[in-house]
Amino acid sequence: MDEAAVVERVKSLEIETPSWGYGNSGTRFHVYPWPGAARDVHERIADAALVHRLTGCCPSVALHIPWDAVDDYGALRALAQEQGIRIGAINPNLFGDDAYRLGSLCHPDTGVRAAAIRHCLQCVEIAKEVGSSLVSLWLPDGTNYPGQDDLRARHARLTEGLEKVYSALPPGMRLLVEYKFFEPAFYATDLPDWGTAALVCRRLGPQAQVLVDTGHHPQGTNIEQIVAVLLAEGLLGGFHFNNRKYADDDLIVGSVDPFELFRIMREIALGDSAGVAFMIDQSHNVEGKIDAMIQSVMNIQTAYAKALLVDEGRLTEAQAAGDVLGAHRTLLEAFETDVRPLLARVRTEVGVAPDPVEAFRAGGHAARLADERGTASVESAYERT
Ligand code: RM4
Ligand code: MN
Ligand code: MN
């Protein structure tokens, strides 16, 4: 692909940022409050809008309910619009309630399951009110000990609950089903992997698709292959981008393993990714939130630009000729290309600074926000799972 075509493709890549990435967050050991971190949904939307103004490619913000719950969703939708963005995926929260000790949609008790379903249905309504076409579901359900519950019964409860949620989706709305292999449950997770998520989505119907959170796999998993297969099967609904070293670390995407991000974006560059939602799911524990979010967005753009630069002709030839290392080198060549000038061109053409992190740092935003908002008390911080 020539440079002009790559520029156009990168320009069309939209990345959604998460409201929860703008507030204070921490580990189970401590939350270090960050001066100026967003304290409520209005400030989180304002920060997402600032990231969009600085990057030019983040026109939507994902919400977590009830973390971002308000009385008037029409007003929230208008607030986002006034600031130049829109509300994106609505994320139900099925882990933040005492009733969910033994699970939510898979809980052995009918009453708890019904409450979990009601919450999901409420999120479908919220999505309608804010004008979003995505409900993004991650279940914390699972068991800690062999024998604790019946695995097949839990799977049956899962599909039964999801069928009720699915049937409430209006035309055009999609249910994204996110998997994760462990945590908070440590023995068996009810939606542990992409295979289970894909089976569930197939059963539900075309409005259900799989969400790949890059941090939700065992060490060594070939995520790009999962992406390739889901794309080929029309089952890839979206991403939660982040990076990890050990578990579900939620670090800046591309910070630990930029080559993995490149390999994932390469599959995106090759396939039909029209309906894929590119979302970030991160929590920034020791660093500035907005700074980190902009860096994340830039890392995704960098990986995508490199992925688009692969010399497809040469690669196909090498693959057909069985030239193993010739093919591999073709891929590496693209990865090793310095795409900073190309991305500077993309950004100049869309009217933002060539280096948005630099623009954020030079713009005095951090000092202004610290001044306006102060340093929030730790009690207001999220507990992340
Ligand atoms: C989970 C998962 C979900 C996110 C929660 C807070 O590990 O990644 O997407 O909403 O964390
Ligand atoms: Mn996630
Ligand atoms: Mn996660």
What band does 1 get if pLDDT is binned at 50, 70 and 90? confident
Residues 293-344 have pLDDT tens digits of 999 999 999 999 999 999 999 999 999 999 999 999 999 999 999 999 999 9
Average pLDDT over residues 228-247: 97
The residue among 297, 140, 280, 294 whose CA lies nearest residue 215 is 280
The residue among 44, 7, 100 whose CA lies nearest residue 308 is 7
Whether the per-residue pLDDT at 217 is higher than 90: the answer is yes
233-to-226, 230, 273 alpha-carbon distances in Å: 11, 5, 12
Residues 259-305 have pLDDT tens digits of 999 999 999 999 889 999 999 999 999 999 999 999 999 999 999 99
What does DSSP assign to residue 103? -
Burial 61-88 (b: 16+ CB within 10 A, else e): bbbbbebbebeebeebbebbeebebbbb
How far, in Å, from the CA of 2 to the mean position of ligand 1? 38
Residues 24-66 have pLDDT tens digits of 999 989 999 999 999 999 999 999 999 999 999 999 999 999 9
What band does 384 get if pLDDT is binned at 50, 70 and 90? very low
What band does 114 get if pLDDT is binned at 50, 70 and 90? very high
How far, in Å, from the CA of 44 to the mean position of ligand 3? 19
Asked if residue 68 has its Cβ within 6 Å of ligand 1, the reply is no
CB of 239 closer than 8 Å to CB of 277: yes
What band does 126 get if pLDDT is binned at 50, 70 and 90? very high
For 280: left if phi > 0, alpha if psi spans -120 to 50, otherwise beta; the answer is beta
Whether the per-residue pLDDT at 191 is higher than 50: the answer is yes
Residues 64-107 have pLDDT tens digits of 999 999 999 999 999 999 999 999 999 999 999 999 999 999 99
How far, in Å, from the CA of 16 to the mean position of ligand 1? 15
Ligand nearest to the CA of 217: 3
pLDDT of res. 98: 97
285-to-282, 295, 374 alpha-carbon distances in Å: 10, 15, 17
Model confidence pTM above 0.85: yes
Mean pLDDT, rounded, of the chain: 96
Burial 334-356 (b: 16+ CB within 10 A, else e): bbeeebeebbebbbeeeebbebb
SS3 at position 226: helix
What band does 376 get if pLDDT is binned at 50, 70 and 90? confident
Asked if residue 138 has its Cβ within 6 Å of ligand 1, the reply is yes
The residue among 208, 256, 214, 258 whose CA lies nearest residue 236 is 208
pLDDT of res. 380: 47
Closest Cα to atom 5 of ligand 1: 385
What band does 379 get if pLDDT is binned at 50, 70 and 90? low
Amino acid symbol at 41: V
The residue among 305, 298, 301, 297 whose CA lies nearest residue 335 is 305
Ligand nearest to the CA of 63: 1
Q: Which atom of ligand 1 is nearest to the CA of 93?
A: 10
Whether the per-residue pLDDT at 19 is higher than 90: the answer is yes
pLDDT of res. 329: 98
Asked if residue 250 has its Cβ within 6 Å of ligand 1, the reply is no
**Distance separating alpha carbons of residues 17 and 40, to the nearest angstrom:** 16
pLDDT of res. 381: 46
Ligand nearest to the CA of 89: 1
